[in-house]
Structure 1
């Protein structure tokens, strides 16, 4: 709901500030039925896809578990309007829908940082960034949350001038306005609660090498430390060993891939630096309290046998 309202409100306020109708908008669903947001609020719509005005700019909204909510009717309709030449955008995870429809080839796009690893694995040929939003010719996308607000302010600025965009931003107390190339996530020091430059550098190396993990000795050497100093650094600031911290990074990426892609469990394990599926499953269960197969909702042999016994 937040990306949706963040996209609409700047348009309403642009009309108010300009004292004329610069923008108008309507909500549609695949079948013309109301849609429930993830927060439970019901959004009324004015019609189904076939009632969308021919020259409209299309903005697709996506939420949780987007892979499970990709409707083939929507994909077919998006391809049709793309051939017609409509401008098409995506809010939050809806970039996945545009990618499924083949509408992002040759265009930059972005998606929420939680979905970024899965998107990159599913669509390796698409230029996806970690930016707040991307505007690339007739395609535009925002990463979710309030980034839709910044994207709309940028579009308003380009279409009706920066003064109007600034007035809208001031009206909604949005200062400073964030730019397209700013990153979605807070800085690494803010995320880990520490600003030690060598610690930050080491964690950056870890995050960039999840598929082929670097050994503690290599990480220490790159940072100009001994392995003992490396251990002390992580214990002091993060209360865990470098090996443990690295493992947790890889497991969190694995969970993201399991939930957001159709990759097999074995391929997820390999993509996160586990050479043995059994070792991956053991580590995953120890950290998350369930196996990778259970995470996917796939019954294991043990659960099947237990279910049969209960019957």
Structure 2
């Protein structure tokens, strides 16, 4: 059973403004929260970050949290769902804030990151302010070298490519991570869990519970909770041998095992393992394994700028020619064509605006 946020903050969270005394909180100064939204940001992550502090103000009966939104140039920003957000200013207007969060979303690798944004974030960090990211924003912090020596998290779709591009950064598959004055979450509803934890650190678990109740959110999750459903739920298969085989495949993408080795690890004969895979997936274990490796390769081609040969080796292919042959058979294009059509292509035009999201402070 997942534990709810407790009154005691985790190690290294003093910079979040832990309640000096619980009874003193009612008279303390407000917390300034700055959200920097980037093109194609995740709307669910954005609203899940703001709504908990809005509700906290309502429950407290005063404006303890004050938030503003910023874009790179002060212009409205389009989210991944096509809605446009009007912001309060540009990053040049962000002089100070107690908590500053980067909110990004899909295709974060293709977003042009100005030098000024990194400069502002470093200034805030130097002042001891809390900074961080929601959804894929950890990628932005990594690009600015603001995650060195910090533990962080990012959306599970980006974890493998993130590790390939930033091998020295400690990234986890947790819902959210709090490391001293750096806070990150995986996006989606994880932003709600992270902000509830921040509220619990600053005001106590009682307020976090009240906020969760108002939001009709019953199960507050700890940061260490897994992002994804278990493999059985994702595949709809309960056969332990198959599930173990798939887990082992995923652990050995770079150094793939033979069918015989795979069968031995799950205590089956190669023939028995093949029968199980044909029954449940209508393919051989080798074909399923190849599919996993090619999916990983496609993700790396789209999200990183690593050379095609490096991607091939990272996915267990001994040569570029073999990798290209297998890739073309599955995706009807070569790895190079995939890279040129996706990662290096000009950023897509913003979709037609379907709605305008005004500043949520007026809600």
Name the TM-score, length of structure 2 as normaliser.
0.80
Correspondence for 1:166: 209
Correspondence for 1:45: 87
Change (3 A) 1:172 1:55: closer
Matches within 5 A, 1:203-242: 203-242=246-285
Equivalent residue for 2:74, pick from 21, 32, 53? 32
| 8 A Cα contact 1:70 1:97, kept in partner | no
Alpha-carbon distance, 1:220 to partner: 0.7
Equivalent residue for 2:57, pick from 6, 11, 15? 15
Q: Distance in 2 between matches of 1:79 and 1:118?
A: 25
Alpha-carbon distance, 1:298 to partner: 6.0
Correspondence for 1:71: 113
For the residue of structure 2 that corresponds to 1:201, the secondary structure is: helix
Correspondence for 1:140: 183
Q: Distance in 1 between matches of 2:48 and 2:332?
A: 36
Q: Distance in 1 between matches of 2:209 and 2:124?
A: 32
Q: Distance in 1 between matches of 2:47 and 2:268?
A: 49
Q: Are 2:150 and 1:107 equivalent residues in the alignment?
A: yes
Q: Distance in 2 between matches of 1:289 and 1:170?
A: 50
Structure possessing the higher relative contact order (Cα contacts under 8 Å, 6 or more residues apart): 2
Change (3 A) 1:298 1:45: closer
For the residue of structure 2 that corresponds to 1:27, the secondary structure is: strand
Q: Are 2:320 and 1:277 equivalent residues in the alignment?
A: yes
Q: Distance in 2 between matches of 1:2 and 1:206?
A: 32
Alpha-carbon distance, 1:99 to partner: 0.7
Please, which moves more after superposition, 66-75 or 18-27? Answer: 66-75
Higher helix share: 1
Change (3 A) 1:249 1:211: same
For the residue of structure 2 that corresponds to 1:274, the secondary structure is: coil
For the residue of structure 1 that corresponds to 2:177, the secondary structure is: strand
- List runs of 5+ in structure 2 lacking aligned partners: 1-42, 343-363
